[in-house]
Amino acid sequence: MKLYNKFEKNFINKGFIINKSENPKSTRYLSNFLKKRLVRLLNLKINFKNLNLNQLHLYVKSNELNKIRLKLISQINKDLKFRRNYFLVAKNMIHHIVGNELAMQININLSIQFPNDESSLLPIHSDTWSGDSPFESVLWLPMVNCYRTKSMFILEAKKMDYFNKTFSKKSIKSVDDLYSKFKKNLKFIKINYGEFLLFNQNLPHGNLINRTNETRVSLNCRFKGLFTPYMQKDLGSFFSPLKLRAATKLGLDYKLPG
């Protein structure tokens, strides 16, 4: 019996999987939700379908971006359909890679990166450095086509041993130093709207200043096996159960007679 299928092998060896949305209707729901709310928040006199997210920097001032982003995040996370559709975009792949008894991050995140904006940078990091458990995977959904600095970068999985060795030698002076040491091993993800990226957040990743002339809009959310170990980001406060199997429910509910 084979231990891993081709998706799992790919995920282990490469660190990420890019595929077409398993449910284009769900991807469209997410995109339309964002566009509708943006048109309302920004008081735009256009049909939401005509809002081009690539051009969002033409409608919002840089100093108002974070306020708008936070409002959108709060609206996203009040909508249960958004959460459901988010999962449906990659449900089968999440089952392959993460499992079928799942916990999902309670809050879905939204990133908006204007061209040349220096305020929304995420320097090279691994999520496990800030309280995430190594059992988590990130589902990253682009709402526009992403490439080069408009996208995120990730360290090639095969370089992880070298990365750890370099790190443990303590020859790293700063995050910038870390970035420049591994620059040639970082891969910028090329991904289009309508596709999903599932990645191993144990691999160092981040972004740079978006030097393209388009805005990046993307969503991200973590998934993990419900019964895998938790670090600081707990079940209840950071994750919520998404799917339990019947036998697990029976087991959890069971009381010995007497």
For Fe ion, the binding residues (CB under 5 A) are 127
- Please identify, using beta-carbon distances, which residue of 99 and 206 lies nearer to Fe ion: 206
Taking the complex as a whole, the smallest distance from the CB of residue 201 to Fe ion amounts, in Å, to 6
Taking the complex as a whole, the smallest distance from the CB of residue 152 to Fe ion amounts, in Å, to 8
Distance between CA atoms of 140 and 150, rounded to whole angstroms? 14
Among 115, 219, 203, 207, smallest CA distance to 159 is for: 203
Taking the complex as a whole, the smallest distance from the CB of residue 200 to Fe ion amounts, in Å, to 11
Distance between CA atoms of 210 and 113, rounded to whole angstroms? 7
Closest chain position to Fe ion (CB): 127
- Please identify, using beta-carbon distances, which residue of 60 and 139 lies nearer to Fe ion: 139
CB 159 within 8 A of CB 14: no
Q: Pairing between strand 239-243 and 195-200?
A: unpaired
- Please identify, using beta-carbon distances, which residue of 127 and 195 lies nearer to Fe ion: 127
| Tokens describing residue 13 | 């060896």
- Please identify, using beta-carbon distances, which residue of 11 and 29 lies nearer to Fe ion: 11
Among 231, 230, 232, smallest CA distance to 241 is for: 230
| Tokens describing residue 15 | 């660190």
DSSP SS3 for 153: strand
- Please identify, using beta-carbon distances, which residue of 128 and 185 lies nearer to Fe ion: 128
DSSP SS3 for 248: helix
Using N-to-C axis directions, what is the helix angle for 160-168 and 175-182, rounded to 10°? 140
Q: Ramachandran region of residue 224, left (φ > 0), alpha (ψ -120 to 50) or beta?
A: beta
- Please identify, using beta-carbon distances, which residue of 59 and 238 lies nearer to Fe ion: 238
CB 54 within 8 A of CB 214: yes
Taking the complex as a whole, the smallest distance from the CB of residue 211 to Fe ion amounts, in Å, to 21
- Please identify, using beta-carbon distances, which residue of 27 and 105 lies nearer to Fe ion: 105
Distance between CA atoms of 50 and 69, rounded to whole angstroms? 20
Taking the complex as a whole, the smallest distance from the CB of residue 220 to Fe ion amounts, in Å, to 8
Taking the complex as a whole, the smallest distance from the CB of residue 57 to Fe ion amounts, in Å, to 23
Taking the complex as a whole, the smallest distance from the CB of residue 24 to Fe ion amounts, in Å, to 27
